[in-house]
Amino acid sequence: MPHDIDDPHSQPHSHLPSDPVLRVRALETILTRKGLIDPAALDEIIDTYENHIGPQNGARVVARAWAEPEFRAALLTDADTVLAELDLNGRQGEHVVVVENTPARHNMVVCTLCSCYPWPLLGIPPGWYKSDAYRARAVREPRKVLAEFGVTLPAEVAVRVWDSTAEVRYLVLPMRPAGTEGWSLEALERLVSRDSMIGTGLALQPDDAAARGAQR
């Protein structure tokens, strides 16, 4: 029997139902009955990442960096101090480095070993960020990967890929689009996409944003 309880070589997880929906429910049930987890706490965790912590947090930081040179300088020098003041340094964002895109360099973030990502700024990573294809290819052929996101960089722009191999999390500060001088922080935030802060996208242009209903 492959799942014999006495087989010390089978991995313990093989005793659970194989269907993932039933598998999660079985674990949740047994842990709840033993008093080891509280289903209400699970609801709270899910609500936090579905509704409260997401790319809107990072967009606020980026918009402010575009608008306030002193804030930008502090963010690039010591993001941890700046983010702590904004209460944006929680779980999976304990150590953050912000890297700035320039006309000469485009930054892009990956975690080839697992799925490290700055949760307090961007929330839970999207499916593609956790996919084998992105993890395998981003470091070796970033320009082909970018093309699949609709981004084509000229040859004179160097690509620097950050592989998050430790507990340091990286946020890309995208370039501010031209034609946004004098815009409010709220209007600037609407130009900051999640992908632009991972580096697989660019900030939206004013025309794109207008199409999405942004207003000055």
Partner 1 sequence: MGGRYGDGQIEPDAEDAPVFSEDWHARALAVTLACGSLGQWNIDMSRHARERLSPVDYTRFSYYEKWMAALANLLVEQGVLSREDLRDAPGIVSEGASEGEPPAKAHPLSPRRLAAHKVAGVLATGGPADRASAVEVRFQPGDRVRTRRSANTLVDGGHTRLPTYASAAQGVILRQHGSHVLPDCNAHSLGEAPEPLYAVVFKAGALWPHAEHPGDEVVLDLWQSYLEPV
Query: Is 14 noted as a catalytic residue in this protein?
Result: no
Residue 1, interface with partner 1 (CB under 8 A)? no
Taking the complex as a whole, the smallest distance from the CB of residue 201 to partner 1 amounts, in Å, to: 9
Query: Is 111 noted as a catalytic residue in this protein?
Result: yes
Query: Is 131 noted as a catalytic residue in this protein?
Result: no
Size of the site for partner 1 (CB under 8 A): 96
Binding residues among 126-145 for partner 1 as defined by CB under 8 A = 126-128, 130-145
Taking the complex as a whole, the smallest distance from the CB of residue 182 to partner 1 amounts, in Å, to: 26
Query: Is 114 noted as a catalytic residue in this protein?
Result: yes
Residue 113, interface with partner 1 (CB under 8 A)? yes
Residue 174, interface with partner 1 (CB under 8 A)? no
Encode 115-153: b = buried (16+ Cβ within 10 Å), e = exposed.
bbbbbbbbbbbbeebeeeebbebbeeebeebbeebebee
Taking the complex as a whole, the smallest distance from the CB of residue 130 to partner 1 amounts, in Å, to: 5
115 is in an annotated binding site: yes
Residue 215, interface with partner 1 (CB under 8 A)? no
Taking the complex as a whole, the smallest distance from the CB of residue 31 to partner 1 amounts, in Å, to: 7
Residue 55, interface with partner 1 (CB under 8 A)? yes
Q: In the complex with partner 1, which residue's Cβ is closer, 46 or 185?
A: 46
Q: Are strands 158-163 and 168-173 parallel, antiparallel or unpaired?
A: unpaired
Q: Which stretch binds partner 1 (CB under 8 A): 60-68, 69-77, 86-94, 178-186?
A: 86-94
- Report the catalytic residues: 111, 114-116
